[in-house]
Amino acid sequence: MNGIYFGEGVCLRAYSSASKGTNATIKIELETTDRYDLADILRQLDAIALKQKKATKTIRQGQTNATGTKPTNGSTPHGVDRDQEVER
C-alpha cells in the first residue's frame, strides 16, 4: 500500500471524486509555500508511479508468457536457443 506523507507546512486545499462504471478517480489539491515540502511530495509521488509502473510491467510479462505468445529467456517459440546450433 502506498501513502503520501506531508508536514504541517502543507494544507489540504480541496478534494473531489468522480466515478464511471467500476473506476473511480480521486483528485486531491495540496497547497504549500515551502519548496522543500513541495519537492518531498513530488518525490513521493514519483516513487509511487515508478513502483506501479514496474508492477504493471511484471504483470503484463507474466500474462504474455503464460499464453505462450512471447518467448522467454531469449529462446525461440519452439524452445531452441538462438545462440545454440541445431543439429540436423
- Give the domain ranges of the chain: 34-66
pLDDT, tens only, 2-43? 788 888 999 999 999 999 999 999 999 999 999 999 999 999
The contacts of residue 33 (CB under 8 Å, 6+ apart) are 9
Strands 23-32 and 10-20 turn out to be antiparallel
Q: What is the pTM of this model?
A: 0.57
Set of cell numbers at residue 49: 508511479
The yes-or-no verdict on residue 67 having pLDDT over 70 is no
Q: Which helix (H) or strand (E) holds 47?
A: helix 35-67
Q: What one-character DSSP code corresponds to residue 75?
A: B
Which grid cell is 30?
495540496
Cell output for 82: 538462438
